[in-house]
Amino acid sequence: MSQSADTLTSRQRSDLGASDPLRAFKDKLAQYSITMGGLMVLMTLLMIFGYLLYVVEPVFRNASIEIQQQQKLEANTNVVATGSDELNEIAYYYTDKGQLHFYPLVETSPAKSVVELPLVDTQSIASIASANSDVAFGLSDGSLLVSQPSFMMSFTDKGREIAPQVRYPLGEESLMIDAQGQPLTQLAFQRDEEQVSAVALTQDHRLLLATLVAEENFMTEEIEWVSETNQLHGIPTSISKLQITPDQRLLFVLSSNQLYIYDIVAGAFDAPRQVVEINEPGAKVTDISLMSGGSSILVGNSNGFISQWFETKSDRGRRLTKIRNFTVEGSVEKIQSEPFRKTFAVLNDKGDLRLFHSTSEADLLDEPLVNKATALQFSPRNNALIFTTKDSIDFYNLENEHPEVTWSALWQEVWYEGYPEPDYVWQSTSASDDFEPKLSLVPISFGTIKAALYAMLFAVPIAIAGAIYTAYFMPPNLRKIVKPTVETMEALPTVILGFLAGLWLAPIVEEYLPFVFMIIFVIPATIVLFAFIHHKLPKKWRNILNEEYSTLMLIPIILLASMACYGLSPMIEEALMGGDARMFISNELGIDFDQRNALIVGIAMGFAVIPTIFSITEDAIFSVPQHLSNGSLALGATRWQTLVGVVLLTASPGIFSAVMMGLGRAVGETMIVLMATGNTPIMDWNIFEGMRTLSANIAVEMPESEVGSTHYRVLFLAAFVLFIFTFFFNTVAEVVRQRLRDRYGSL
C-alpha cells in the first residue's frame, strides 16, 4: 500500500506538471538559470586566472637579438668608442684619429657626417675612457678632452627631425693635468654636475688623480672648473686597466691578477686601501667592468669564469668579497655592463655573445654573432647592442625587458649589493636610477600568512565559542537579537576598522601595554571564577536566577575586570617595567616594538572575521537535527556531553567551512593591514612588529608602477599568488568538509 501511494503521488506530480505548462516553464527556467550562473562564475574565475597569467608571462621570456645594420669601415680605421641615440635612429663611433662619425640607422635619419675633435697638430689620442654618454680622451701632451655626442630633436611640417652634434662639457680646449707633458697612456673618468674625476697613467708610470670642482663666478655667474691634481703612491709596476666608481669614491687598478683599491674621496693617496687576488684558480684575469651604480665589479678570467665582487661588512671594515660566478665557454675577452641595470654582456674568444643578469643569476642569452667582435656597447635604453668588428660596426636589436625576474630571485635568498649575506627582500623602487630591484615575494607572502594567523588566533575562539552558546544554550528570544546583531557587524567597512585600529587602537595599546597582557589572563580567570561561584551557590539561589539568562551577568563582571586592569596598568608599568613598557620590551627583552604591529592587525582583522565564522558556525550547530540531541539526552548524557559528542561532531563540516571562510577573508584583506600596520616587508613572527601582505603591497605600489614594467608585472604575479592562496584554502576546506560530512553525516 505504501509503495502504491508513493507511485500515485509521483504520477499526480507528473500530471500536475503536464497540466500546468507555466509551472513547468518556471522549473526549466530556474534550472537553466542556476546552471548558467554556475558556469558564468566558473568562466569568470578562469578568465581572471588567464588574464593574470597573460600579464605575468612576459617576465619569464628569454632575451633575443636580431641584427639590424652593418656599417662598413674604411681600411685602417681603428674604432675606439661607439654609441647611439635613445631612439636607435642615429649611431656614432670615434676613431683614434680624433674623428666622430654619425651614421643613420633608419631611412628618415640624416645622412652620414663627420666631426673633427678640436685637437691641435701636436696632440694625438693616447687613451680613452667612457662614462655614460661622455667620452674622455687622454692626449699625448698630458691634457684631457671630454666630448659628448648629443641629438637635438625638433618638429617641422615634415615631422620629427634629429640633428646630431657634439658638446664639450668642460670646454673645447683640453684641460692640462700635471703630467709634465707626458702622454696619458691609460685613463678612467667620471663626471657629475658638480665634480669631475679623472685618473690617468702617464708614460713615465705615474698615476695621477685630477679633480675638477665646479664653482660659480660671482661676477659673471658662469661655471668655472677649479682643478687639483694628486699623485697616487703604492701603485703596481704594471697596470692593465683603471676604473672609477660613478660616485667618484673608489678607484680600481688592475695589475695582472691583483686588484688595487684606492679610497680617493678620503684623500688616501699614499697606499691602496685593499689589494685583492681576484683571479680564479689556475686562470688569469682578462677583463674587469664596473656594473651600474659602481657597487659591484665583474672580473673575467681565461677559463671562462666571470665573478662578481662587491664590498661587504667584516671585522676589518668593508672589504671586497666574491659573491657569485657565471661561466662561458672558452676565455672571456670583453665584459660590458648595462648603464642602469644589472645586466651584462660577455664576449668570448670564439666570438659568441652571452648575456647575464647578476641579481637573478639568469643566463639570458647564448648567441653566436655574424662577425667576431672585439668590443661592444649597450644603447642608452638597453634595447640594442653595438659590436665593433675588424671591418664593420654591427648594430643588433635586443629584446630583454625583464631580466630581473627568475623563480630563484622570487622565492630564494639572494645576495644583494652591500648586504652582509643572502636574504629575502622586497624593495621595488628607489630614488636612484642605479638601484638594484629586490623583488622577493617571500616577505610579503610571509606577511600575508602572519597577519591571517594572528587574526585567526583572535577570531576563532571568540567566534566559535559565541556561536556554540548562541545556538545551543541561549534562549530563543535572546538569540533573535544577538545573531542578527553579530551578522550586522559584517557590514562594517573594513576601511573604518583599519582607520580606527591605526589611529585610535594602536596608540592606546602602546600607552597601556600592561593592560593588554593582563586582560588576556584576567578575563578568562574571571569567567572561570564566576562559573565556580555560581556553581557553589545554594540551589534555591540558583533557582531564583534564571539559568538561561544568568550568563548575561558576566557582562558587567567582565567590564569591571577590564576597568580594574586598565586602572592597574600604569602602576604595574611603573613597578615592573621602569615606567616605560615599550622601552622595557625593546631594551630588557630585546624585542622590537612598532606601534602598528601584528597585535593591532590581529585584533582589527579578527573583529572583521568574527561575524563570518560566527554566522556559519551558528547555523551549522543550530541545524543539527533535534532528535540527535534528544536521543543523547534520553540515554543519560548531559547537555555538555551531548554538545561535545554529538552536536559538534555533526556540525563539524560546517564549523570547518566557517573557519576556512574566515581564513580566506583574512588572507585577502587589504584595508585593515594597509592602515593598521607599518607595511614593512620583514620576516619576523614577533607580534609587536608589522608586516606587509600581498594585498596591501598591490594596493600601495600598483598606482606608482609603470604599465608593462617588471615591477608592474611582478605585482600581477603577487595577485596571482594571492589568488592561488585563496583557491588552495577553499579547495582544502571543501575536501575536508566532504570527508567530515561522510564520516559524521550518519549520526
Closest CA to 376 of 249, 263, 289, 266: 289
Alpha carbon distance 36, 44 (integer Å) = 12
Examine residue 634 and state whether it is found in any structural domain, yes or no. Answer: yes
**Cα–Cα dist 465/480, whole Å:** 18
- Grade residue 444 by pLDDT with cuts at 50, 70 and 90: very high
C-alpha pair distances (Å), 666 with each of 188, 198, 449, 502, 659: 56, 58, 9, 17, 10
pLDDT greater than 70 at residue 431:
no
Is 239 a domain residue?
no
In a domain, 672, yes or no: yes
What is residue 79's predicted lDDT score, i.e. its pLDDT? Answer: 92
What integer pLDDT is reported at residue 549 of this predicted model?
A: 65
35: which 3 cell numbers? 546552471
Higher model confidence: residue 311 or residue 216? 311
Do the domain assignments include residue 686? yes
Model confidence at 18: pLDDT above 80:
no
Q: What is the pLDDT at residue 13?
A: 52
Report the alpha-carbon distance of residue 573 to residue 592 in Å, rounded.
Answer: 18
pLDDT tier for residue 747 given thresholds of 50, 70 and 90: low
Q: How many CA atoms, within 13 angstroms, populate the side-chain half-sphere of residue 504?
A: 8
pLDDT tens string 263-291: 988 777 888 888 999 999 989 999 999 99
Segment 647-658 mean pLDDT: 87
Domain membership flag for residue 633: yes
For range 595-612, the mean pLDDT: 90
Domain span at residue 737?
445-510+595-744
Residue 695 domain flag: yes
* Residues paired with 223 in a beta bridge: 216
Residue 606 lies in a domain: yes
Res. 5 pLDDT band, cuts 50 70 90: very low
CA distance 88 to 80: 20
- The pLDDT value given to residue 19: 60
Spatial neighbors of 297 by CB under 8 A, at least 6 apart, are: 243, 252, 259, 288, 289, 290, 291, 308, 309, 310, 320
195-202/184-191 β-pairing: antiparallel
pLDDT at 475 over 90: no
User: What confidence category does residue 631 fall into, taking pLDDT thresholds of 50, 70 and 90?
Assistant: confident
In this structure, is residue 667 part of a structural domain? yes
Q: What percent of the chain has pLDDT over 90?
A: 39
Positive or negative: CA dihedral 401, 407, 408, 410: positive
Q: Which amino acid is residue 685, in one-letter code?
A: W
Neighbour tally for 509: CB within 10 Å: 19
> Measured on CA atoms in the order 564, 569, 571, 575, is the torsion positive or negative?
positive
- Can you give the CATH number for the domain in which 624 is found? 1.10.3720.10
Q: What would the DSSP string read from start to end of 297-366?
A: EEEEETTSEEEEEEEEEETTEEEEEEEEEEE-SS-EEEEEE-SSSSEEEEEETTSEEEEEETTTTEEEEE
Mean pLDDT of 475-489: 86
pLDDT at 55 > cutoff 90: yes
In the predicted model, what is the mean pLDDT of the chain? Answer: 87
Tell me how far CA of residue 60 lies from CA of 53, 231, 326, 340, 726, in angstroms.
Answer: 11, 49, 20, 20, 24
Euclidean distance between the first and the last CA atom of the chain, given in angstroms as a whole number: 30
Grid coordinates belonging to 459: 577570531
- Give the residue, 184 or 194, on which the prediction is more confident: 184
Q: How far apart are CA 82 and CA 80, in angstroms?
A: 7
Q: Give which of 74, 150, 39, 38 is closest to 390, Cα–Cα.
A: 74
Per-residue pLDDT, 652: 85
Q: Are 359 and 338 in contact (CB under 8 A)?
A: no
Over 80: is that where the pLDDT of 229 sits? yes
Q: How many domains would you assign to the chain?
A: 1
Q: How confident is the model at residue 15 (pLDDT cuts 50, 70, 90)?
A: low
Give the pLDDT of residue 133: 86
pLDDT: which is higher, 416 or 492: 416
- Is pLDDT above 60 for 10? no
Would the CA dihedral through 350, 353, 358, 362 be positive or negative?
negative
Count CB atoms within 10 A of the CB of residue 700: 15
For cell 672609477, name the residue.
244
pLDDT at position 388: 93
Give the pLDDT confidence score for residue 294 in this predicted structure. Answer: 87
Q: What is the pLDDT of residue 576?
A: 83
